[in-house]
Structure 1
Amino acid sequence: MSDGTGEAPSTRADVVAALDAVIGRTLREADLVHEHPAPGRWLVDLPGTKKLKTVCGLIVGEHALRIEAFVCRQPDENREQLWTYLLQHNARMYGVAYSVDRVGDVYLTGRVPHAAVTPEELDRLLGAVLSYADDHFNTMLEIGFGTSIRREWEWRVKRGESLRNLEAFAAFAQRGTTRRPADGGGASSADDGG
């Protein structure tokens, strides 16, 4: 990676400074909310529609820029089904892949060599993180938390509570039941996230 002078950075501090300059300029130009808590460390807020916000970490490592974004906590149920769903998507993904930590929380992770860190590549990678976290979020919740979603839906219907923040799961929550929302809330036209 060139630092703009035509010479490659020579020390770790030079590499971090050069990459920080590229990352900072890219995030500002994209008007993304971000934090820069330490040299070589960035936290970027990626606004979504199904998953309202995905926080993406960018960490300058020894040889590569590491990308990490939390997607959802460990599933309550159907772990193997969720892992299969995620692994099937990994083969078609750009720059990042689904992974799980020791407790089973789901992340998007990836590594990019220092030389490949350009504004255009950062834009593609952040777009990929946002797309994969957001596009598949409701389906992941249905697989891993379906019982909880249905239970919450039924509890709210019984008490006449608002279903507004569950509208995306209307078809899923009502599948196999005759109950309908008490508040009307437009839930029948909601996307089921699939």
Structure 2
Amino acid sequence: MTAGRLRAALDELEVPYTAEGDGAFLVTLPGERRHRTLVWLLVGTHELLVESFVCRQPDENAEGVYRYLLQRNASLRGVGYALDSSGDIHLVGRLGLDGVTTAEIDTLLGTVLDTSDADFNPILERGFASAIRREWAWRTRTGQPVKNLEAFRHLVQP
């Protein structure tokens, strides 16, 4: 029973999750650049599907964003970047059911978290620079804090 092994692995790893039906688990991982990363683990007939939404479709420079993601795919283990039909960006992976072990789930979740968190700002810089500049200008003009935009200061100041 793979769903039972997966539940036991998640419990052993002490990661927060909710079971959403038989064989569907939504894991919540804390991040640094991103507040949190949500990861679906879906037990199928022959494989475990791992999927995590990373970012919506870029507003601009989609080619640059997608080039960055394809280059990153070459260094990832167990997951890779993919686009849905709307162009939104996800990390997706598949694991044979025999590979559902605590160590492998730990590795997969770690890869998703590290990748999503490390690549979040570079994706935003490439695909949402104009929106970041507009938001920065509006916040400074209206006296709003820019603390959560500090990582993008280089985009608004020469």
TM-score (normalizing by structure 1): 0.79
- Deviation of 1:50 (Å): 0.4
Q: Partner residue of 1:10?
A: none
* Paired residue type of 1:83: Y
Match of 1:155 among 135, 138, 141: 138
* Paired residue type of 1:170: R
Q: Partner residue of 1:121?
A: 104
| Larger Rg, first or second structure (1 or 2) | 1
**C-alpha offsets along residues 80-114 of structure 1, whole Å, 9 cap, x if unaligned?**
11000000010110000000001100000010001
Segments of structure 1 that go 5 or more residues without pairing to the other structure are 1-17, 177-194
Q: Distance in 1 between matches of 2:37 and 2:82?
A: 15
Higher relative contact order (CA 8 A, sep 6+): 2
Aligned pair count reads: 158
Q: Partner residue of 2:34?
A: 51
TM-score (normalizing by structure 2): 0.96
Identity of aligned residues (%): 44
Segments of structure 2 that go 5 or more residues without pairing to the other structure are none
Query: Is the 2:12–2:102 contact (alpha carbons within 8 Å) kept by the matching residues of 1?
Result: no
When the two chains are superposed, the root-mean-square deviation of aligned CA atoms in Å is 1.0
Q: Distance in 1 between matches of 2:4 and 2:44?
A: 15
Q: Partner residue of 1:134?
A: 117
Q: Distance in 2 between matches of 1:62 and 1:19?
A: 10
Runs of 4 or more consecutive aligned structure 1 residues displaced over 4 Å after TM superposition: none
Q: Distance in 1 between matches of 2:88 and 2:96?
A: 26
Match of 1:29 among 7, 12, 24: 12
Q: Distance in 1 between matches of 2:69 and 2:43?
A: 26
2:142 is the counterpart of 1:164: no
